[in-house]
Amino acid sequence: MLRLRQLAVSYDQPVLKGIDLEVATGEIVCILGPSGGGKSTLLRAVAGLVPASGRVELGGRDVSRTPTHLRGVGMMFQNDLLFPHLDVAGNVGFGVRPSDPDRVEQVLALVGLAGYGSRAVDSLSGGQAQRVALARALAARPGVLLLDEPFGALDVVLKAHLVLEVQNVLREQGVTVLAVTHDRREAFTLADRVAVLREGRIVQVGAPDELWARPADTYVARLLGLSVIAGVVYRPEQLHPDPAGSWAAVVTGRTFRDGRYQVSARVGEDPVTFMTSVDEAPQVGATVALSAHGCEGT
């Protein structure tokens, strides 16, 4: 179990302003926030890679003063950061205790790379490299695994596959995970609970459906991909083109997705998103009238 109490980090300016957060054993918590919002700093503070004030407790033990290498955390970075001078097995075995000789093969099998031990790391594809990085982080049996935008460098298709795959592995192994990402889809796929980070503070924590249903404020709502019109939040399925609608929306883009179109538009200054059937989809630049139905947003 990981518990953060009033965790704060300042460089020239405060970056984290007192984070309180708990991750239960075996739970996956994902911090969601915009780029440059201090997410990586949070993970680095947990790992002891940056000086921080406040408390970090791991398994009930205060590790705030413990140097990184004795904290028992695992970490996976945006780039795989595999050691180029070691082969796959050398990388995976880097943090493994000598008393655990079968561990390398075990975790390689876990990530679907059994038999890759003697491969050079520069011969791996992007997805393979990231899986080796995961295996390396898992191999040392960390008390908590920190994932820093672990899929950020991968292409969309690969990412979609890998997120599910990793989630499976993490659940099977019952690993306690604190991840950060700026991608809400990734957060929703991966996490039991999502924590939204805004300007160095956590503004809301909850299961994905809770956040979706009841975003704490318009900031969280926009971050989750919800539309906010005149201070009222609407989910995409609540908005639809309607000649009698009261809002005039200027279409800024449309994306074909799973048999329907997801349309981005602008009502006054407010960005909105709604779904249409293929036939109804408006052209970019067109103005459509919108109305809302179903339950009201908060």
Partner 1 sequence: MSRTALLAVPVLFLALLFVIPVASVVWAGLSAGPDRMLGVAFSGRTWQTVGFTFLQAGLSTLVTVVLAAPAAVVLARFRFPGRGLLRALVLVPFVMPTVVVAAAFLALIGPGGLLGVDLSGSIWGLVLAHMFLNLAVVIRVLGGSLATLDPDLEQAARVLGASRWQAFRRVTWPLLMPAVRACVAIVFLFCFTSFGVVQVLGAGQLRTLEVEIYRRTVHLLDLSAAAALSVLQLLAVVAMLVVIGRGRPVPRQQAVDVARPPHGWRQRAAVGITAAATAVAVLGPLLVIAVRSVTAGGHWTLAGWQMLFTPGDSTNAVDPWSAVLASLRTSAAASALAVGVGGMAAVGLSVRGRGGWLRTVDALLLLPLGTSAVTVGLGMLLAFGRPPLDLRNTGLLIVLAQALVAMPFVVRVVTPALESFDRRLLEVAGVLGRSPAAAVRSVALPLLLPVLAVAAGFAFAVTIGEFGATVFLASPADPTLPVAIARLLSRPGQVTVAAAYAAGTVLMLVTIAVVVAVDRVRVSRAVVF
Nearer to partner 1, 135 or 288 (CB): 135
Three-state secondary structure readout of the chain: CEEEEEEEEECCCEEEEEEEEEECCCCEEEEECCCCCCHHHHHHHHHCCCCCEEEEEECCEECCCCCHHHCCEEEECCCCCCCCCCEHHHHHHHHCCCCCCCHHHHHHHHCCCCCCCCCEHHHCCHHHHHHHHHHHHHHCCCCEEEEECCCCCCCHHHHHHHHHHHHHHHHHHCCCEEEEECCHHHHHHHCCEEEEEECCEEEEEECHHHHHHCCCCHHHHHHHCCEEECCEEECHHHEEECCCCCEEEEEEEEEEECCEEEEEEEECCEEEEEEECCCCCCCCCCEEEEEECCCCCC
Tell whether residue 84 is a contact of partner 1 (CB under 8 A): yes
User: Which of the stretches 13-21, 67-75, 98-106, 175-183 binds partner 1 when contact is defined by CB under 8 A?
Assistant: 67-75
Asked if 98 interacts with partner 1 (CB under 8 A), we say no
The residue whose two tokens read 């984290």 is 16
Which is closer to partner 1, CB of 47 or CB of 220?
A: 47
Is residue 236 a contact partner of residue 184, using CB atoms and an 8 Å limit?
A: no
Q: How far is the CB of 113 from partner 1 (least distance, A)?
A: 18
Name which position in 13, 60, 70, 244 contacts partner 1 (CB under 8 A): 70
Among residues 24, 81, 164, 207, the one that binds partner 1 under rule CB under 8 A: 81
- 49, 203, 205, 250: which one contacts partner 1 (CB under 8 A)? 49
Judged by CB under 8 A, which of 95, 206, 225, 236 binds partner 1? Answer: 95
Stretch of residues binding partner 1 (CB under 8 A), selected from 68-76, 124-132, 217-225, 255-263 = 68-76
Site string for partner 1, 242-281 (x = CB under 8 A): ----------------------------------------
Residue 65 found at the interface with partner 1 (CB under 8 A): no
Task: Assess 152 for contact with partner 1 (CB under 8 A).
Answer: no
| From candidates 52, 73, 88, 129, binder to partner 1 by CB under 8 A | 73
User: Closest CB to partner 1 among 96 and 194?
Assistant: 96
Q: Which residues bind partner 1 (CB under 8 A)?
A: 44, 47-49, 67-70, 72-75, 77, 81, 83-85, 94-95, 136-137, 140, 146
